[in-house]
Amino acid sequence: MEDVKKIQPNMLKGIVSVPPSKSVAHRAIIAASLSGGECTIENVAVSKDIEATIECMRALGAKCSVNTKSMTVSVTKKKTYKVKNMITLDCGESGSTLRFLMPIALGKGVPVKFVGHGRLMQRPQTPYLNIFREKGIKYELGTDYIIIDGSLKSGSYGLPGNVSSQFITGLLFALPIIDGDSEIIVSGELESKGYVDLTIDMLSKFGIEIENYKYKLFKIKGGQKYKGCNELKIEADYSQAAFFLVADAIGCNVECLNLNPNSLQGDREILDIIKNTGARIVKGPNGGIMAKKTAVMHGITVDAKNIPDLVPIVAVLCSFCSGESRIINAGRLRHKESDRLRSTATELGRLGVGIVEERDGLKIIGRDLVEGNVCSSWNDHRIAMALSIAACRAEGCIEITGAEKAVTKSYPDFYKVYDRLAGNETY
Ligand SMILES: O=C(O)C1=C[C@@H](OP(=O)(O)O)[C@@H](O)[C@H](O)C1
Ligand SMILES: C=C(OP(=O)(O)O)C(=O)O
């Protein structure tokens, strides 16, 4: 039986300890697994995507022990590691896991089979496939798997800037540890730049140096070694905080704790986006941050080039701003867990929002309250969470099909937290 989350309109109220960043955690687990030493990674939330990365690194020879209670992952590289048969890596529905690990998995001397679920294998892989063809790496592509066989050599790698930055991250992890120098040449403007910053920052914590020439060219010295990094603490996730900060901006009263004001996460931009509507960002009584709704909140134009994951929740924010809002440069949203331009427009449309899906963006006319209705999560965590926030300011009950399962991809505790905040605990 499919899960259906029923939400009665209710203004959320309380404190949220913002969960750790999924993007930073993927990178920490991979880098620690590639290093020789033992690394304890603190503040890791084991969502489905993170679990996939841990399992894949284990299959590639890392020893990872997970303590969900203390939220720590301890990683050591196994001393002897020889494989004779094909390695299978199940990436779940995680684009990051698949694209980060493909270059790393090359050169094991055996074919590696990557398995994907949901929409994962329908998401673009062409930039890597072009490289594989050019560099003589064999591959076989099925509807839910790809088998790759060959080794990565140093040299020049061309990648488009407007498909996914995850291809660049994958090569940045793998190229430094092979013999010989390499370069990545980006054609067109790189989108999702902040995610490449997160990669380069994590690599530097493990002693790996990358030269970044304005996101157009990356120079990578070969023969580098991932040095030990004994301890790492994953910072809070701005992409997840965005749901509660937008809840505030539409009238809720939630304080988000633990956000790093100097974070490199591109989705920190949610603070400026909220301010641009006329809402305020303030310090909360417990040292966290909150947004405050104001009477003058108006439509905005948001360039989504570098902040794709914010789009569904920013569309909810715009749904409650007066006048017209536009989300532009968001064509890549069509290649996420759902076609997020279609899913956002369809579902907010079902709630009575005047929303138009454009080729690479959304046009939204705000209203005071949305309508109650039954809608779908499209098996997409960010759609489920965004609709749940819209439900706070609805005229009636909103039911979201497939929501509980969808959120396990990045934020398994989302509804536990949401229901607590909806219970109006004393604040
Ligand atoms: O590197 C990362 O951690 C991510 C990069 C982004 O993908 P694109 O580069 O494909 O936009 C983002 O959407 C994804 O959720 C996480
Ligand atoms: C697109 C996302 O993740 P990934 O690409 O890793 O599947 C996401 O978390 O919204």
Domain range 22-217, CATH architecture = Alpha-beta prism (3.65)
Question: pLDDT confidence of 1, banded at 50, 70, 90?
Answer: low
In angstroms, rounded to a whole number, what is the distance separating the alpha carbons of residues 245 and 291? 6
Cβ distance 394 to 6 under 8 Å? Answer: no
Tokens, residue 273: 């986006």
Q: What is the pLDDT of residue 277?
A: 98
Nearest to 75 by CA among 92, 60, 58: 58
Q: Is the pLDDT of residue 295 over 80?
A: yes
Alpha helix (H) residue ranges in 136-182: 166-174
Question: pLDDT confidence of 427, banded at 50, 70, 90?
Answer: very low
Q: Counting every residue, how long is the chain?
A: 427
Q: What is the pLDDT of residue 79?
A: 64
In angstroms, rounded to a whole number, what is the distance separating the alpha carbons of residues 214 and 53? 29
Tell me: is residue 22 an annotated ligand-binding position: yes
Q: What is the pLDDT of residues 230-282, one digit of tens each?
A: 889 999 999 999 999 999 999 999 999 999 999 999 999 999 999 999 999 99
Tell me: is residue 166 an annotated ligand-binding position: yes
* Beta-carbon contacts of residue 408 (< 8 Å; ≥ 6 apart): 47, 48, 381
Q: What is the pLDDT of residue 426?
A: 39
In angstroms, rounded to a whole number, what is the distance separating the alpha carbons of residues 367 and 281? 22
Q: Is the pLDDT of residue 81 over 70?
A: no
The set of protein residues with a Cβ atom below 6 angstroms from ligand 1 is 23, 96, 164-166, 169, 192, 195, 308-309, 332
CATH 3.40.190.10 fits 4-19+236-422, yes or no: no
Cβ distance 190 to 218 under 8 Å? Answer: no
Q: What is the pLDDT of residues 63-77, one digit of tens each?
A: 999 999 999 999 987
Q: What is the pLDDT of residue 101?
A: 98
Q: Is the pLDDT of residue 293 over 50?
A: yes
Tokens, residue 354: 């005047």
* Beta-carbon contacts of residue 423 (< 8 Å; ≥ 6 apart): none
- Could you tell me the residue ranges of all domains in the chain? 4-19+236-422, 22-217
Q: What is the pLDDT of residue 80?
A: 63
Tokens, residue 70: 């203390």
Q: What is the pLDDT of residue 84?
A: 81
Q: What is the pLDDT of residues 181-237, one digit of tens each?
A: 999 999 999 999 999 999 999 999 999 999 999 999 999 999 999 998 988 999 999
Q: What is the pLDDT of residue 231?
A: 84
Q: What is the pLDDT of residue 2?
A: 72
DSSP secondary structure code for residue 295 in this structure = T
Nearest to 94 by CA among 60, 138, 139, 57: 57
Residue 84 Cα to ligand 1 midpoint, Å, equals: 33
The rounded percent of the chain whose pLDDT value lies above 70 is: 98
Nearest to 360 by CA among 339, 381, 384: 339
Q: Which ligand is nearest to the CA of 165?
A: 1
Q: Is the pLDDT of residue 312 over 60?
A: yes
Residue-by-residue DSSP string for 376-414: E-TT-HHHHHHHHHHGGGBSS-EEEETHHHHHTTT-TTH
In angstroms, rounded to a whole number, what is the distance separating the alpha carbons of residues 336 and 346? 16
Q: What is the pLDDT of residue 424?
A: 45
Backbone angles phi, psi at 217, to 5 degrees: -140, 130
**In ligand 1, which atom is closest to the CA atom of 23?**
3
Tell me: is residue 165 an annotated ligand-binding position: yes
- Average pLDDT over the chain, rounded to an integer: 96
Same fold: 4-19+236-422 with 22-217: yes
Place of tokens 């039911």: 399
Q: What is the pLDDT of residues 346-373, one digit of tens each?
A: 999 999 999 999 999 999 999 999 999 9
Cβ distance 10 to 388 under 8 Å? Answer: no
Exposed/middle/buried for 391, CB within 10 Å: 0-12, 13-18, 19+? buried
ipTM above 0.90, yes or no: yes
For 126-168, where are the E strands, in sequence order? 138-141, 145-149, 156-160
Residue in 91, 126, 197, 309 to alter for ligand 1 test, most ligand atoms within 8 A of Cβ: 309
Residue in 21, 22, 23 to alter for ligand 1 test, most ligand atoms within 8 A of Cβ: 23
| Average pLDDT over every residue of 312-339 | 98
Q: What angle do CA 36, 153, 120 make, to 5 degrees?
A: 80
Best-predicted range by mean pLDDT (72-86, 96-110, 191-205) = 191-205
Q: Which ligand is nearest to the CA of 331?
A: 1
